[in-house]
Amino acid sequence: MGMSQLIKMAIKSIVSNKLRAFLTMLGMIIGVSSVIILVSISQGSSKQISDQIGELGTNLLTANFYNTDTTQFKEKDLATLKKINGVKEVSPVVSGRVSVKNGKTSSEVSLTGTTSSYKDVRNLKISSGRFFTDFDNEERLKTAILGSDTATTLFGLSNPVGETIQINGTSYKVVGVLQSSGNGDDTVLLPIKVAQRLLQNTTISTVYVQADNENIVNFAKVNVESTLSVLFGGSQDDFSVTNQQDVIDTVSSVSDTMSIMLGGIACISLVVGGIGIMNIMLVSVSERTREIGIRKAIGAQKIDIMLQFLIESIVLSSFGGMIGVGLGMSAAKIYSIISSTTIAFSLPVILLSFTFSLLVGVIFGVFPAYKASNMRPIQALRFE
């Protein structure tokens, strides 16, 4: 009997028992769709975070300091960093949490105190107004720049530039509003000397360092680490220097681990679905015992009977896999639209999940097929 005829027989058997076939495939459908949905969401989140980090610039270094009473990064040390070979610009940061208020509307936001170079170093865009200048910082002018979310919270759709807000009870003039970056928009920026006075804290916890270009980032990183080691008396335990690629690699590593975990959990549904296929196929073998006996009596070989039931199992799992792929991609897309999150479909993951569903069909279809092929014709014909 030809392979095409065996496939037609398998499809005919499935069509004649539509409800049972659907319930048999349900485990496959849920398993394949779960793998696609979970992995797509996980990889989409990773891609979104990596893109946001990449937007800050691939030539950006971040130096974090673990300041103690004996070791602190001072503002005068900035000049030393600026002179390093391969460094284009530096921008110090002091940070904290503050209460901002406009009229009766108030909010708790993050505060960043920094210099005029922060805009270029962090690749920020201004949607309205201007960024503060070195003059604002040196003269300790009470000027503020709002993140897009903070501006919306305090002023709604109105333009806040030129308006006055209260930060921890002190009045500041809004001179600019940042474009939304999709992350960290609930913030307010002040000149660093003004922020230090407001927070009553002169400790610089972070310095952003911009390399001349992305091709010499690692070279600049080594020079920065070497210079900081000298500033901190030879100790490298008081600071750390990372570049954007380090952060992206870390995020990707975590995302890959999460994807494997989520995919593994979802694959359990495929195994359960395979067990379901085996159970149904065993029932089918019992129901069609006389058919098996008749086929053997008229000359069907063991391999013919085995292939008949094995192909039926594979057809069930392949149909379930195809429906699962379509359902998974559709559900992931709907979730993306509803939640406004990024998803990333992975062709290897889709193919792997579908292939795995086929393998499950083969593996769990072998025993029922083997059982059917080993029936004795006389005993099968006597079966009621």
Q: Would you state the pLDDT for residue 99?
A: 93
Does residue 53 have a pLDDT over 70?
Answer: no
Residue 130 has pLDDT above 90, yes or no: yes
Q: How confident is the model at residue 14 (pLDDT cuts 50, 70, 90)?
A: confident
pLDDT band per the 50, 70, 90 thresholds, residue 68:
low
pLDDT recorded at residue 69: 61
Q: For the segment 274-309, what is each residue's pLDDT rounded down to a tens digit?
A: 777 777 777 776 666 666 667 666 666 777 777 777
pLDDT at residue 56 greater than cutoff 60? no
Could you give the C-alpha distances from 90 to 87, 131, 148, 216, in angstroms and in order?
Answer: 8, 16, 24, 16
Given a cut of 80, whether residue 48 has pLDDT beyond it is: no
Task: Summarize the confidence of residues 139-156 as an average pLDDT.
Answer: 92
Question: For every residue of the chain, which 3-state class applies, written as one string?
Answer: CCHHHHHHHHHHHHHHCHHHHHHHHHHHHHHHHHHHHHHHHHHHHHHHHHHHHHHCCCCEEEEEECCCCCCCCCHHHHHHHHCCCCEEEEEEEEEEEEEEEECCEEEEEEEEEECCCHHHHCCCCEEEECCCCHHHHHCCCCEEEECHHHHHHHHCCCCCCCCEEEECCEEEEEEEEECCCCCCCCEEEEEHHHHHHHHCCCCCCEEEEEECCHHHHHHHHHHHHHHHHHHCCCCCCCEEEEEHHHHHHHHHHHHHHHHHHHHHHHHHHHHHHHHHHHHHHHHHHHHCHHHHHHHHHCCCCHHHHHHHHHHHHHHHHHHHHHHHHHHHHHHHHHHHHHHCCCCCCCHHHHHHHHHHHHHHHHHHHHHHHHHHHCCCHHHHHHCC
Q: Quick one: pLDDT at residue 113?
A: 93
Report the distance separating Cα 341 and Cα 324, nearest Å. Answer: 22
pLDDT in tens, 219-247: 888 888 888 888 877 777 778 888 876 66
Nearest C-alpha neighbor of 39 from the set 251, 339, 344, 352? 344
Give the global pTM. 0.58
Considering the chain, what is the average pLDDT of its residues?
81
In this model, does residue 190 exceed pLDDT 90?
yes
- Rounded CA-CA distance 32/276 in Å is 15
Least Cα distance to 335 among 9, 128, 34 occurs for 34
Higher pLDDT, 216 or 160: 160
Convert the pLDDT of each residue in 335-383 to its tens digit.
888 877 778 887 887 888 888 888 877 777 777 777 766 666 655 555 5
Question: What's the alpha-carbon Rg for the chain, to the nearest Å?
Answer: 33
Q: What pLDDT digit, counting tens, does each position of 249-265 carry?
A: 676 677 777 777 776 77
- What percent of the chain has pLDDT above 70? 82
pLDDT in tens, 310-336: 777 788 888 888 888 899 889 888 888
The pLDDT score that the predictor gives to residue 248 is 67
Single-letter amino acid, residue 94: V
Please tell me the predicted confidence (pLDDT) of residue 378: 59
Asked if the model's pLDDT at residue 1 lies above 60, the reply is no
* Band of residue 181 on the pLDDT scale cut at 50, 70, 90: confident
